[in-house]
Amino acid sequence: MSTTQDSAETKVVKDATCTFCGCVCDDIDLTVEGTHIVDAKRACVLGNSWFLNHEIEDRPSCHVDGQPASLEAGIERAARILVDANYPLIYGLSDTTSESQRVAVGIADWIGGLVDTTTSVCHGPSGMAFQGVGEVTCTLGEVRNRADMVMYWGSNPAESHPRHFTKYSLMPKGMFVPNGRKDRTCVIVDVRKTKSAKAADLFVQIKPRRDFEGLWTLRALANGIDLDPQTVESDTGVPLNTWQDLFDRMKAARFGVIFFGMGLTMTRGKHANSEALLALTRDMNRHTRFTCKPNRGHGNVTGADNVVAWRTGYPFGVNLTRGYPRFNPGEYTASDVLARGEADAAMIIASDPMANFSQPAREHLASIPYIAFDPKQTPTTRSAAVAFTVATYGINVPGTVYRMDDVPIPLRPAFKSPHPSDLEILKRLSHRIREIQAGVPGRSTHGSGPGS
Amino acid sequence: MPMAETFILIPGRTSQQGCGISEGKFEANYQSEITTLQVAPADMERLALTNGDRVRLRGEHGEIDVAVKAAKKDELPAGILFIAYGDLSSRLMGGDTHGSGMPTSKGLDVELTVLK
């Protein structure tokens, strides 16, 4: 149970939740001096940077066309942009609370727009594969307590999820793996000998862009199909006897798990790669218990999948322009509607497409009016028509996030921010959009000073 | 200009890039990480490259000029390049997602030319 101890100068927030990555570690003890976190006990290198670099941005909470503006003026302009658009896009949502995600999806519905999350450029292809194959899955708690065979495919948790090994998957002593690491076999499959590979009992270095072939080699072995050794080695870069050794280890496990990353989803094959891995996991259940989980990047990207799914029936890339949801990755996903020049306005919440989208998508986003929400300045906030500086979820703002295994986790913020939360602004924006749609005129915002 | 050689580029995450996001995307740590290309030591030697030299990568959808550094030990096989996700890697991505929503962001064919 979390407790907070206050003294005159410092405050300790126990069991705070780190929202930097999808591990969402909720056992961090924060030492807070005023508005600075000076210690983050148990945090990894990424968590330490997340907490210790947190500063209250010394700038207005709202900019309109690059100039400081009141929140009210920003909300009015944002509402007009979204209501006046023919094909507005709401995008991002992976670094905010599920409470905010819920309101954002509601706005997409009111304005008849698209709603997409960073999932589409992360594990969106896996989301497509789930619908084709299904997911034999488990929680990280089950992995911790049961898994004696832990595989990572196209994922480098040593750099992207530094506590994955130690808190959840490899090192912990669990109920059925009492000796921890000694009771587990670790396999890494990757095109690079990443930092994670050091942890492996077996490292399989596969040819780039040949994950599909590697996964189907294992599927063939799992289904008793004879393979030509020369073809296998030529296709995958790995000798058949290495695949056979891996399969034998998988088959001998009592509880196996494959964590997979963007090495599969971002590479040629994409959803076909994820589908092959999900199907392999299913095949392995003819021999023993096997599960799989995508290693998710952002702190609440899993929450975005959950919230968009329970609000629209689909996890990402949803078109609400006809008044009912339609789902079609490649057609309604953010990268596509921007690169094709289709969206005529956008609202970007807690993500930075101007830093990581394709060049044609970025060029189009820069050419249309858009609203951006972020605690920090980013390439996306700098080019926004309306930019809101918001409080940081988990550090300043309470709420709910979903860990990568779909387990909801409460946030325990360290201190308040003078900036509003994105939830507060989104609620006001939603209200104002409804007013405009009902014909309620706007109040004059002329002469209003900058927000706090 | 020297002849171009074909490589496969793997953009990806690094812990320094992750820490840089929290420090600020306009700060030195993040900027240096996303603008440095890692090259296998064998390729560095073969191309007579030293850390800090600049190369041009040309892909199907764009081109970038970037500084290089030798990858650690055997982290990268010869013929494979690595760069942390960011502005430069995005410039080499195409807009087409092949019906998936995801642009091909890893395993990009690029032609490398040494700039001297």
Domain A124-294 fold is: Dimethylsulfoxide Reductase; domain 2 (3.40.228)
Per-residue pLDDT reduced to its tens digit, A123-142? 999 999 999 999 999 999 99
Question: What's the average model confidence in pLDDT over A379-400?
Answer: 97
Burial of A226 (0-12, 13-18, 19+ CB in 10 A): exposed
Residue A162's nearest CA partner among A73, A50, A33, A64 is A50
Question: What's the average model confidence in pLDDT over B13-21?
Answer: 94
User: Do the strands A386-389 and A4-6 form a parallel or antiparallel pair, or are they unpaired?
Assistant: unpaired
What sign does the dihedral A265-A270-A272-A276 (CA atoms) show?
Answer: negative
Interacting residues of A414 by C-beta distance below 8 A, sequence separation 6+: A11, A13, A16, A30, A32, A37, A51, A395, A396
Per-residue pLDDT reduced to its tens digit, A304-324? 999 999 999 999 999 999 999
| Interface test mutation site (partner A, options B81, B83, B100, max chain A beta carbons within 10 A) | B100
pLDDT at A6 over 60: no
Residue A445 is predicted with a pLDDT of 57
Q: Which residue among B18, B80, B93 sits closest to A208, beta carbon to beta carbon? A: B80
Query: Cβ contacts (< 8 Å) between B102 and chain A: which residues?
Result: 120-121, 124-125, 265-266, 270, 329, 333, 335
CA distance A337 to A364: 9
**Token pair 């006001």 is at which residue?**
A428
Q: Do A361 and B95 touch (CB under 8 A)?
A: yes
| Interface test mutation site (partner A, options B89, B102, B104, B105, max chain A beta carbons within 10 A) | B102
Q: Do A121 and B13 touch (CB under 8 A)?
A: no
The rounded percent of chain A whose pLDDT value lies above 90 is 94
Residue A444 is predicted with a pLDDT of 60
**Token pair 């799914």 is at which residue?**
A309
Domain B5-115 fold is: Barwin-like endoglucanases (2.40.40)
pLDDT at A3 over 60: no
Q: Helix (H, G, I), strand (E, B), or coil: what is residue A343?
A: coil
Interacting residues of A222 by C-beta distance below 8 A, sequence separation 6+: A247, A251, A280, A283, A284, A286, A287
| Interface test mutation site (partner A, options B6, B17, B31, B97, max chain A beta carbons within 10 A) | B97
pLDDT at B83 over 70: yes
**Token pair 């997979």 is at which residue?**
A260
pLDDT at A441 over 90: no
Distance of CA A324 to the CA centre of its chain: 25
Query: Cβ contacts (< 8 Å) between A378 and chain B: which residues?
Result: 25
pLDDT at A45 over 50: yes
DSSP state of A393: B
Per-residue pLDDT reduced to its tens digit, A252-275? 999 999 999 999 999 999 999 999
Rounded to a whole number of angstroms, the distance between the first and last alpha carbons of chain A is 34
Residue A452 is predicted with a pLDDT of 35
Q: Which residue among A128, A268, A379 sits closest to B107, beta carbon to beta carbon? A: A268
pLDDT at B66 over 70: yes
Query: pLDDT: is A249 or A442 the higher one?
Result: A249
How are strands ordered across the β-sheet holding A10-16? A4-6, A10-16, A28-33, A36-41
Residue A276 is predicted with a pLDDT of 98
Residue A448 is predicted with a pLDDT of 42
pLDDT band at A447, cuts 50/70/90?
very low
CB atoms within 10 A of CB A276: 23
For the record, the structure tokens of B79 come out as: 């013929």
Q: Helix (H, G, I), strand (E, B), or coil: what is residue A188?
A: strand
pLDDT at B2 over 90: no
* Residue extents of the structural domains in chain B: 5-115
* Residue extents of the structural domains in chain A: 62-122+299-397+416-437, 124-294
Domain A62-122+299-397+416-437 fold is: Rossmann fold (3.40.50)
What sign does the dihedral A230-A231-A236-A241 (CA atoms) show?
Answer: negative
For the record, the structure tokens of A419 come out as: 């900036």
Residue of chain A whose Cα is closest to the Cα of B94: A358
Q: Do A46 and B12 touch (CB under 8 A)?
A: no
Residue A132 is predicted with a pLDDT of 93
Phi, psi of A275 (to 5 degrees): -60, -40
Cβ(A53)–Cβ(A42) under 8 Å? no
pLDDT at B51 over 80: yes
Q: Is the ipTM of this complex over 0.90?
A: yes
Phi, psi of A414 (to 5 degrees): -90, -40
Query: Cβ contacts (< 8 Å) between B93 and chain A: which residues?
Result: 357-359
Residue A156 near chain B (CB below 8 Å): yes
User: Do the strands B54-58 and B108-115 form a parallel or antiparallel pair, or are they unpaired?
Assistant: antiparallel
Question: What's the average model confidence in pLDDT over A362-368?
Answer: 98
pLDDT band at A451, cuts 50/70/90?
very low
Mean pLDDT of chain B: 94
Mean pLDDT of chain A: 95
Pick the range with the lowest mean pLDDT from A3-17, A23-37, A388-402.
A3-17
